[in-house]
Structure 1
């Protein structure tokens, strides 16, 4: 559906430009947009690489295991069907850690590993398990303490204070994560009552 919306906006823009005799604006906008996207992507590689390296060091040094041990009570509450020493727990911790640091791109590989590990525990491979649904809700709405990617983009565009976004980001993502956990629990209760 979203593809049709984007297609409609593009076609409408081309038609308006053609009617007004400014069709060259389309080519210029496309080239400028592509140029800007490449510059931003290359600039953000350094930020993402740095934090991916930090995450790898944390994993290799045992910090992830220690973090998993610290958050074990919360994870046990959120994922009661996952055994405590299952590899899914480590992948979930890494994914949430990357999300907390504002590195959605770095969180994606760990999220895929976590889902694969959770799928290995799933009895019905055609339906998402409760743990998979909970993980998806957390991954989508995870609290972000340091929005590094957004700070990097604001810095690239010359923001006078690129870290202004930190407070509002923490507040908004904290509320969204609490809401996601509550909705997940409510839906679990409703669904379990229907069985």
Structure 2
């Protein structure tokens, strides 16, 4: 559906430019945007490779293991219908750890694997309680180091690209807590209806 909306907006803009006589400006903007997108992507790749390397160093240093042990009791309480030693717990922990470091691209494959494991565990095509909780938690994603945003700010020559770290921590902490509270509210509300 989103693809259809974007296509309709693009076609409407092009048709309007044809009738308005500004097709040359549309072509100019199109090529400038394409060049800027490629430049931004290449810049982002270098920053993401750096942070993925840092994540590998953190893994070798045992920081990720420490974070996994730190978050494990919380995750087990948040997902009580998943057995403690099930692979889904490991994928959930990896996803949350990657999101904490602002590596959404690295977190996505782990999130998909966690969802697959939870779907297999529930044995149903409907979203289970754990799947809904994980989706809410993953969408709000607590972030300590917003790597991608910092790299975009660096690409556009921000005077202080890291000044958003404190704000990001506060905003994502509030969004994560809110997501969990809303998730639990609707879960317990649905239990009362039954």
The 5 A counterparts of 1:49-88 are 49-59=49-59, 63-88=63-88
Q: Residue 143 of structure 1 aligns with which residue? A: 142
Q: Residue 41 of structure 1 aligns with which residue? A: 41
In 2, Cα distance between equivalents of 1:133 and 1:94: 18
User: Is 1:151–1:162's contact at 8 Å kept on the other side of the alignment?
Assistant: yes
TM-score, length of structure 2 as denominator length? 0.90
In 2, Cα distance between equivalents of 1:33 and 1:22: 17
Deviates further, 138-147 or 79-88: 79-88
Q: Residue 103 of structure 1 aligns with which residue? A: 103
Structure 2 CA distance for partners of 1:170 and 1:68, relative to 1, 3 Å: same
For residues 89-120 of structure 1, the C-alpha deviation after alignment (integer angstroms, 9 at most, x for no partner) is 11111111111111111110111111122222
User: Is 2:68–2:93's contact at 8 Å kept on the other side of the alignment?
Assistant: yes
For residues 23-70 of structure 1, the C-alpha deviation after alignment (integer angstroms, 9 at most, x for no partner) is 122222222111111111111112222333343455566544432222
Unaligned runs of 5+ in 1: none
In 2, Cα distance between equivalents of 1:80 and 1:57: 32
Deviation of 1:78 after TM superposition, in Å, equals: 0.6
Q: Residue 15 of structure 1 aligns with which residue? A: 15
Q: Residue 159 of structure 2 aligns with which residue? A: 160
Q: Residue 90 of structure 1 aligns with which residue? A: 90
Structure 2 CA distance for partners of 1:64 and 1:161, relative to 1, 3 Å: closer
Unaligned runs of 5+ in 2: none
In 1, Cα distance between equivalents of 2:79 and 2:54: 26
In 2, Cα distance between equivalents of 1:88 and 1:25: 51
For residues 147-194 of structure 1, the C-alpha deviation after alignment (integer angstroms, 9 at most, x for no partner) is 111110110111111112222222211111111000110111122233
In 2, Cα distance between equivalents of 1:167 and 1:68: 23
User: Is 1:68–1:93's contact at 8 Å kept on the other side of the alignment?
Assistant: yes
